Amino acid sequence: MNGRIVIADDEPITRMDIRDILEEANYDVVGEATDGFEAIELCKSHQPDLVIMDIQMPLLDGLKAGKRIISEGLAGGIILLTAFSDPKNTEKAKGFGALGYLVKPLDEKSLIPTVEMSIAKGRETRKLEQQLEKLTKKLEERKVIEKAKGVLMIENNITEEEAYNMIRNLSMDKRCPMMEIAETIVMSDD
């Protein structure tokens, strides 16, 4: 399979047409929704690579549902569908990070390349988000270690290098990460 997709449109014929095009191109349609609330629930349970969602749907429209899906990281990306192009909706879609915007009626020539590009862009974005999380965590750990070094320097009247070596040696002796040692040192100073 090329990717897992949720289709959200209140028109059954449109959902069926999109499903047929996607399945023929070897995509796995993991769910179909008739409104934004159903789309959100399907995304929570399936974590799809992509959601193809109509803007105009009852109860909760595609723009509001899409904004929530993206903000909560429930899908790799969203392509919005509309019966007519509207600059206001296009701006809203760009504002929350939709990966594509297609005008109905859809054809295979425009849908499949847009789906392929959107899934690739969604995966790239997810990878960058994971790298950012990792770097943010490392930075936070580094801040705690720096603070612990400062505490040890004051308490023991030692140099920065000696304080770092003290934390590192404790980490090796106690067989636990330097971060845990540093947190304990900082906690005991509060």
Range list for CATH 3.40.50.2300 in the chain: 4-106
pLDDT at 28: 92
Quick check: 188 pLDDT over 80?
no
Please write the tens of the pLDDT for every residue from 56-72. Answer: 888 888 889 999 999 89
Quick check: 92 pLDDT over 90?
no
Which of 37-41, 75-79, 88-92, 117-121 has the weakest average pLDDT? 88-92
pLDDT at 98: 86
Which CA distances in Å does 180 have to 134, 153, 177, 186? Answer: 17, 18, 5, 10
Mean pLDDT of the chain: 89
Mean pLDDT over 38-52 rounds to 94
- Residue 87 is inside which H or E element, if any? helix 87-96
Quick check: 93 pLDDT over 80?
no
- Percent of the chain at pLDDT > 70 equals 98
| Structure token pair of residue 82 | 């509309």
With tokens 């005991």, the residue in question is 188
Which CA distances in Å does 120 have to 52, 116, 168? Answer: 15, 6, 41
Phi, psi of 134 (to 5 degrees): -60, -45
Q: Is the pTM of this model over 0.85?
A: no
Range list for CATH 1.10.10.10 in the chain: 133-188
Fold for the domain defined by 133-188:
Arc Repressor Mutant, subunit A (1.10.10)
Mean pLDDT over 132-141 rounds to 94
Beta bridge partners of 54: 81
Fold for the domain defined by 4-106:
Rossmann fold (3.40.50)
